[in-house]
Amino acid sequence: MKYVPPGLPGSIVSVEPRYENFIGGKWLAPTHGKYRVDLAPATAGPITEVADSTPEDVELALDAAHAAKDAWGEASATERAKVLNAIADAIEKNQDMLAVAESWENGKPVRETLAADIPLVVDHFRYFAAAARAEEGRSTEIEKDLVAYHYREPLGVVGQIIPFNFPLLMAAWKLAPALAAGNCAVIKPASPTPWSILKLMETIEDVLPQGVINVVTGPGAEIGKALAANPRIAKVSFTGETVTGRLIMQYAAQNLIPSTVELGGKSPNIFFNDVMAHDDEFLDKAIEGLVLYAFNKGEVCTCPSRALIQADIYDEFMARCLARIASIRQGNPLDTDTQLGPQVSAQQIEKIASYVDIGRNEGAEVLIGGQRASVAGAEFADGYYYQPTVLKGDNKMRVFQEEIFGPVLAVTTFTDDADALAIANDTLYGLGAGVWTRDGTRAYKMGRGIKAGRVWTNCYHQYPAGASFGGYKISGIGRENHLMMLDHYSQTKNLLVSYSTKPLGLF
């Protein structure tokens, strides 16, 4: 099935010529009246215009959030959960529309947004609605007649800056726990993907109390600091690259507020020889597990972009994987048969091409792909398509050390468990990893040995709410996707109460 691109006759997605910021429950034009064009990566053609905001607009969003924060912070968990569930219901009702909007704006295949992104967004709000309801304070009888009560209290207004790779899911990952914990949010979507979150706000604006979520679009250089360094936020969270991550933490340090940052990875995906012990469904799953590097065009912080394959199965296993990669269907992201869409932006495809050149110069062997792709259809001639690519080389090469953020796999071999672990951990990053084996003991030991926040074991790229996600090493600080997020978005209030009438006797 092929969906009609947003805005064209017959599309399930309506497109206004221009979108304003969503502030205080209203659509507010940017103070300076400037707009920027939002492009569809499949065609490099315009979708619409969005506000090209300035720091004044961030201040307006903060005004709205502060006006809303007391009522929202004092709302009972029951009331907050009701709103989160209503958000989930509204999104679910518009699931296909949002899946098409996000696919067209980001370039990710609609089969992924239909099956993963949007259902996960819906579930995420429901998960945190449940978490808010089940949340309890704790009390301890420190000694007879002296009791410590612990309550969670909202931080107030939080600033959130999200990446382009999952425009709606990353918004949900940050907004749902913040709201569940009783905070109001000002969120800045990534410059290449500002519009789909505005479509999401259209679907939930009627169920959302004014000012609880505020969305300001524009370039990071212009409004990023205005939000992240603003003394009126009580916490900042960010997903992106390491240098801006450090800058965010620097601003947070200057304001003495907490920050959480997720900064990417270079995730190893390890295949032990026993995966080929039988030619069965599990082997098929493992082959797909390697090819998942092409999921979302490789634009995933946990992209399994380093495949480590045990040397004695390398030839046969890789041959089967390459056959699967060669059959990847690349094209119109709105075609449900398409498996690989265009990269999100001109910048990204330029970077990918440059990395493949670096790999070639370092002596990596191109096993498949290695250049820009042309796909069927004249309308896609200028789209940002890159061939699914595999480079064989050594873990010391730059293409094994840096996140390329494209459909580019770096593959190498290992001899035994110790060698696999050493290569897996020979990286600055520690966000994700994959381990594939039929041996449970080996899986456990590898999983515990890998220095990464998430080790998928005999699976990859699953992101269910309830499984924590976050980085070791320079991949970041803090966790997402789990009820422990309520900690990240709360203060702890302790009431230390004496029920004794006796004086201390000191004075």
For residue 141, give Cα distances in angstroms to 148, 475, 500.
6, 40, 13
Minimum distance of another protein from residue 51's CB (angstroms): 15
Per CB under 8 A, 239 contacts another protein? yes
Task: Indicate the burial class of 366 (C-beta count within 10 angstroms; 0-12, 13-18, 19 or more).
Answer: middle
Binds another protein by CB under 8 A, chosen from 241, 280, 312, 316: 241
Q: Say how far residue 163 (Cα) sits from the centre of its chain.
A: 7
Residue 262 annotated as catalytic: yes
Query: In this structure, are residues 294 and 457 in contact, taking their beta carbons and an 8 Å threshold?
Result: no
3-state DSSP assignment of residue 213: strand
Please give the Cα distance from 256 to 248 (Å, whole number). Answer: 12
* Residues β-bridged to residue 139: 149
User: Rule CB under 8 A: is residue 369 a binding residue for another protein?
Assistant: no
Residue among 12 and 358 whose Cβ is closer to another protein:
358
| Tokens 């296909």, residue located | 96
Q: Does 168 bind another protein (CB under 8 A)?
A: no
- How many binding residues for another protein (CB under 8 A)? 51
CB nearer to another protein: pick between 241 and 416: 241
Segment interacting with another protein, rule: CB under 8 A, options 68-76, 107-115, 122-130, 258-266:
258-266
- CB closer to another protein, 202 vs 299: 299
Quickly list DSSP for 270-337: EE-GGGGSS-SHHHHHHHHHHHGGGGGGG--TT---EEEEEGGGHHHHHHHHHHHHHT--BS-TTBTT
Catalytic residue among 20, 105, 262, 403: 262
Question: 170 with 118: CB under 8 angstroms?
Answer: no
Tokens of 373: 């792709």
Question: What is the footprint of another protein within residues 303-362 (CB under 8 A)?
Answer: 345-348, 350-351, 354-355, 357-358, 361
- Check residue 49 for interaction with another protein (CB under 8 A): no
Which range in 59-67, 89-97, 427-435, 455-463 contacts another protein by CB under 8 A?
Answer: 427-435
Nearest partner of 374 among 330, 414, 318, 340, judged by Cα: 330
Nearer to another protein, 154 or 218 (CB): 218
Q: Is 404 in the site for another protein (CB under 8 A)?
A: yes
**Would you say 225 or 232 has its CB closer to another protein?**
225
When asked if residue 242 is in the footprint of another protein (CB under 8 A), the reply is: yes
> At closest approach, how far in Å is the CB of 66 from another protein?
24
Work out whether 54 is an interface residue with another protein (CB under 8 A).
no
**CA 179 from centre of chain:** 18
How many other CB atoms are there within 10 angstroms of residue 411's CB atom? Answer: 25
Residue 477 within binding range of another protein, rule CB under 8 A: no
Angle among Cα 418, 420, 424 to the nearest 5 degrees reads: 120
Asked about 316 being catalytic, the answer comes back as no
Q: Which is nearer to another protein, 55 or 209 (CB)?
A: 55
Q: Count CB-CB contacts under 10 A for residue 6.
A: 23
- Who contacts 496 (Cβ-Cβ below 8 Å, separation ≥6)? 142, 146, 147, 148, 149
- State which residue, 97 or 263, has the beta carbon closest to another protein: 263
Catalytic member of 20, 102, 184, 301: 301
Round to whole Å and give the CA distance between 451 and 421: 9
C-beta neighbour count of 171 within 10 angstroms: 24
Could you say whether residue 367 binds another protein (CB under 8 A)?
no
Distance of CA 20 to CAs 36, 58, 304, 379, 389, Å?
Answer: 11, 13, 37, 28, 39
Q: Counting contacts by CB under 8 A, is residue 398 touching another protein?
A: yes
Q: How far is the CB of 349 from another protein (least distance, A)?
A: 8
Report angle CA 302, 410, 412 to the nearest 5 degrees. Answer: 115
Residues 307, 433: Cα–Cα separation, whole Å: 10
- How far apart, in whole angstroms, are the C-alpha atoms of residue 205 and residue 392? 49
> Where in 146-165 is the site for another protein (CB under 8 A)?
163-165
Q: Is 405 in the site for another protein (CB under 8 A)?
A: yes
Strand order of the sheet with strand 146-154? 138-143, 146-154, 490-498
- Among the candidate windows 202-210, 234-242, 305-313, 440-448, which touches another protein by CB under 8 A? 234-242
Does residue 243 touch another protein according to CB under 8 A? yes
Nearest approach in angstroms of CB 209 to another protein is 30
Residue 371 binding another protein, by CB under 8 A: no
Residues 68-127 that bind another protein (CB under 8 A): none
Contact pattern for another protein over residues 204 through 233, marking x by CB under 8 A: ---------------xxx--xx--x-----
By CB under 8 A, residue 407 contacts another protein: no
Distance CA 39, CA 69 (A): 34
Work out whether strand 389-392 and strand 365-368 pair parallel, antiparallel, or are unpaired.
antiparallel
- Segment interacting with another protein (CB under 8 A) among 91-99, 126-134, 385-393, 423-431: 423-431
- Binding flag, residue 283, another protein (CB under 8 A): no
| Interacting residue ranges for another protein, rule: CB under 8 A | 163-165, 190-192, 219-221, 224-225, 228, 239-247, 250, 262-265, 299, 301, 345-348, 350-351, 354-355, 357-358, 361, 396, 398, 401-405, 427-429, 474-475
* Residues annotated as part of the active site: 262, 301
